[in-house]
Amino acid sequence: MTGLKHRLTSDFVPEWCALGALALLDAAWAAHIHLDFVVAPRDFLILALALSVTFALRGFALRRGGLTAEYFALTLAASTAICALSYLCLASAGPLVDSRLMAMDQAVGFDWLAGYRFVQAHPALAALLGLAYDSLVYQGLYFCLLLGLMNARQQLRDMFWLFLITGILACAGAVLFPALGPSNFYNIQTDNGFVPVMQHLLSGRDLHFALSGMTGVVSFPSFHTAMALTYCWAFRKTGIISAAITALNIIMLCAVPFFGGHYLVDMVAGAAAMLLALAILKAAPLLIRKPIAASASPESAAAYGDAY
């Protein structure tokens, strides 16, 4: 029984505790500003399935599979909590700062409209940039699978904290520097549906949103930019995989202004948020950053260095 209890123990206790605290903050804030997240039982189906798989794999002593499944569940829950926080931040924000952000872009010679027209005039380029921009979730899934099966627990923990800290910093940007982005500034209709949601949040009226239908609502800083750099960092020791991920994220960064509806200054702020989050992670207590030897086998540490 002791062996089974040990196998069923979570690999991410501090991370789940932090996520629980964030969920409580979301709930209290939502109640305070009368914002209602409409929740259906099916919204938790994938999370419940992932946790069930985690316990099942651990019960059969399949440690790496259990680690992978739990990290997937953890990041899925964290994504929902951060997205909810971004809604709350934007709903609590002050006047828009689009004109100031556009002025900063123009001051450095960045012509968003010219760039947007160039991309739209070249369908093959637009398709490539669109695929790269939409790859973020697939990079997350691949990272989870690769590092989980390698039993690289500390690297998974580092990635979680980078994601969480960067997400909180991005939400802080939404409440301090709210903006609708250059597509709205130039009155250009795009396929992205986030601008109407952002306008709804800023209106302060009828704040009811389906939890399963949430979208990105942060303009400054660019969360896509921060995560592109984060994944370059997270895959840095994986040989040829690192080179491929870096190339993909360079293309993604080129797509961010036009597919994410961002000013260039949003991207600069996104890069700064990632670097600040990394600095916080490096300075974090041992509760967050335990030595690899204490959390993974020597074989897994070696495998991380030779993943390719």
What is the distance between the alpha carbons of residues 122 and 191, in angstroms, rounded to a whole number? 17
Which residues contact residue 238 at a Cβ distance below 8 angstroms, ignoring those fewer than 6 apart? 146, 245, 304, 307, 308
> For residue 129, which of 261, 262, 258 has the smallest C-alpha distance?
258
Name the residue range of residue 269's domain: 2-305
Say if residues 179 and 97 touch (Cβ distance below 8 Å). yes
- CA distances (Å), 61 to each of 5, 184, 198, 235, in order? 11, 53, 46, 27
Under the banding of pLDDT at 50, 70 and 90, the label for residue 290 is low
pTM, entire model: 0.89
pLDDT value at residue 194? 84
pLDDT value at residue 293? 40
Under the banding of pLDDT at 50, 70 and 90, the label for residue 306 is very low
Residue appearing with tokens 């012509």: 111
Task: Give the model confidence (pLDDT) of 8-40 as tens digits.
Answer: 678 899 999 999 999 999 999 999 999 999 988
User: What would the two tokens of residue 212 be?
Assistant: 């399963």
* CA triple 211-73-149, angle to 5 deg: 150
Task: Give the model confidence (pLDDT) of 180-230 as tens digits.
Answer: 999 989 988 776 678 899 999 999 899 999 988 898 899 999 999 999 999
User: What would the two tokens of residue 145 be?
Assistant: 């699978």
- Whether 158 has a pLDDT exceeding 80, the answer reads yes
Give the total number of structural domains in the chain: 1
Say if residues 8 and 55 touch (Cβ distance below 8 Å). yes
What is the distance between the alpha carbons of residues 143 and 122, in angstroms, rounded to a whole number? 32
Task: Give the model confidence (pLDDT) of 239-283 as tens digits.
Answer: 899 999 999 999 999 999 999 999 999 999 999 999 999 999 988
